């Protein structure tokens, strides 16, 4: 088997024995839990669309290791075209789901490791790259979802890992055995963790010699003994427990985050890709972050949905001809397509690393992600402006269905009388979901903090912008000769 169907993916999750907690209780059936299920549905779309002939070029690739056709989420980029198609895939799936579809982080982890394991071997004579390629073949052949785990809880930000009052606030090696290592710690904000087959752990920052026990990277099955998942809350998450569809806004799809705890977990050597090579920790972080900042093409796809919802709301309100409404929709499209320009540009300027893996231009990737921390907030503001206050004051779906109140709501919440009142309510609930509800975690908060904080991108922009060359060009034009 090389590529699973959506149905096979769901069946594969049912075979996992995950230790998952939510609302203070253990969840025994993760796949069918009504709060978690929409996030699984979103991942399933990465399988469903890969089966469709019209999306084959974007959703699939040919493995450079086996020559088999594989899901692009398990592919190692071989050229600039692969990098461009990655962005197109992200936009396609963002538009199809209206939320985070959760596989980008694993894809970015695989590509970062394909570069850094090779570099470590060249420098130190280790065998990490061979291990990684064997692992990659396993992932590709079985079409697995990998959860990339980088962010540690971090504790006191003033202190490095080895100086923390609690040394487990950064994931670390606590024991070395002949057959592997034992690790302890946690990874926070883990997108799609309980929908994944594998967890790929990476260090969270550049490390020094004193922090070498924290410079560790490895992969494990998501249900390995000692791994525990504690689900994070989202705004409006318990709406998924209610009857009906309207109040959930986007009833089929969603995302989730979890704290993943590693309680003295054993890792066999064949799955260890970095072990105390602290000098390469920073490189792995930067390579992963560069890839993942490009991955926010997904927000362009979600932006497409939000713009479409705003246009529809304007029409249902009878306001679509107003000049200020038209201008706001133009601005929303301008901002959204500007984001798309960024992710395509950093792909088009990509280059090959020594391992042969292609990586996007790091400066342009950071500029793109910096724009993602800003533009979706303005797109969301304009959508809320167009939608109107009813988006957050309308009664529940049950009130529309009630014989006691339904007729009054149908009467007084009508807009354009050619449009059913419930359709008007549905589009407003979708805008609420995308800008305030559970999907806002993926569209807004994730736009801000995903792939590192805005300041992290500004640091990289300052580091990567060639100021000396800019100064040389300016001085040359005005006749300054400093030779």
Please give the positions annotated as active site.
100, 104, 191, 257, 292, 296, 298, 446
Distance of CA 3 to the CA centre of its chain: 21
Structure tokens at 196: 């994944």
Do the Cβ atoms of 267 and 464 come closer than 8 Å? no
Could you tell me if 204 and 154 are in contact, meaning their C-beta atoms sit under 8 angstroms apart? yes
For residue 254, the SS3 value is: coil
For the chain, state the CA radius of gyration: 24
Cβ neighbors of 276 (< 8 A, separation 6 or more) are 173, 212, 213, 215, 216
d(CA 461, CA 452): 13
Q: Are 186 and 228 in contact (CB under 8 A)?
A: no
* Maximum Cα–Cα distance across the chain: 87
User: 91, 300 in Cβ contact below 8 A?
Assistant: yes
Do 259 and 230 meet the contact criterion of CB atoms below 8 Å apart?
yes
Residues 6+ apart with CB under 8 A from 119: 280, 283, 353, 354, 355
Q: What is the distance between the alpha carbons of residues 446 and 427, in angstroms, rounded to a whole number?
A: 23
91-98-228 Cα angle (round to 5): 100
CA dist., res. 372 & res. 453, Å (int): 11
- DSSP assignments along 235-246, one per residue: TTGGGGGSSSSG
Q: What are 253's two structure tokens?
A: 């799809």
């Amino acid at each position: 088997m090389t590529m699973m169907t959506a149905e096979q993916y769901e069946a594969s999750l049912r075979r996992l024995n995950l230790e998952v907690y939510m609302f203070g209780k253990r969840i025994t059936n993760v796949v069918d839990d009504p709060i978690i299920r929409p996030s699984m549905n979103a991942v399933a779309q990465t399988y469903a669309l890969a089966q469709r002939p019209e999306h084959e070029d974007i959703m699939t690739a040919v493995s450079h290791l086996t020559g088999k056709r594989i899901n692009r989420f398990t592919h190692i980029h071989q050229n600039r075209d692969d990098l461009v198609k990655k962005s197109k895939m992200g936009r396609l799936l963002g538009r199809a789901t209206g939320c985070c579809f959760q596989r980008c982080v694993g894809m970015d982890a695989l590509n970062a490791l394909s570069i850094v394991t090779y570099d470590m071997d060249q420098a130190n004579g280790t065998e990490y790259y061979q291990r990684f390629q064997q692992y990659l073949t396993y992932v590709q052949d079985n079409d697995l979802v990998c959860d990339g785990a980088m962010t540690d809880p971090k504790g006191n930000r003033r202190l490095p890992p080895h100086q923390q009052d609690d040394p487990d606030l950064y994931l670390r090696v606590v024991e070395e055995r002949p057959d592997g290592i034992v690790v302890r710690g946690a990874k926070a904000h883990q997108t799609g963790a309980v929908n994944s087959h594998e967890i790929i752990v990476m260090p969270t920052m550049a490390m020094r010699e004193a922090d070498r026990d924290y410079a560790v990277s490895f992969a494990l099955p998501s249900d390995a003994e000692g791994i525990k998942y504690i689900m994070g809350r989202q705004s409006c998450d318990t709406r998924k427990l209610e009857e009906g569809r309207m109040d959930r806004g986007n009833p089929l799809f969603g995302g989730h985050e979890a704290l993943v705890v590693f309680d003295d977990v054993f890792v066999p050597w064949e799955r260890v890709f970095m072990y105390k090579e602290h000098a390469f920790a920073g490189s792995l972080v930067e390579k992963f972050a560069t890839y993942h900042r490009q991955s926010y093409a997904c927000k362009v796809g979600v932006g497409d949905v939000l713009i479409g919802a705003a246009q529809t709301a304007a029409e249902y309100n009878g306001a679509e001809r107003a000049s200020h409404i038209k201008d706001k929709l133009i601005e929303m499209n301008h901002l959204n397509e500007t984001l798309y320009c960024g992710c395509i540009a950093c792909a088009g300027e990509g280059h090959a690393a020594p391992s042969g893996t292609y990586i996007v231009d790091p400066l342009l990737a950071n500029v793109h992600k910096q724009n993602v921390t800003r533009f979706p907030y303005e797109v969301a503001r304009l959508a809320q402006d167009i939608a109107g206050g009813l988006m957050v004051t309308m009664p529940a779906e049950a009130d529309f269905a009630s014989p006691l109140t339904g007729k009054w709501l149908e009467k007084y919440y009508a807009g354009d009388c050619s449009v059913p009142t419930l359709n008007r309510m549905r589009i407003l609930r979708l805008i609420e979901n995308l800008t305030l509800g559970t999907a806002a975690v993926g569209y807004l908060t994730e736009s801000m903090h995903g792939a590192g904080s805005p300041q992290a991108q500004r640091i990289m922009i300052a580091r990567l912008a060639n100021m000396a060359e800019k100064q040389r060009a300016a001085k040359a034009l005005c006749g300054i000769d400093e030779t």
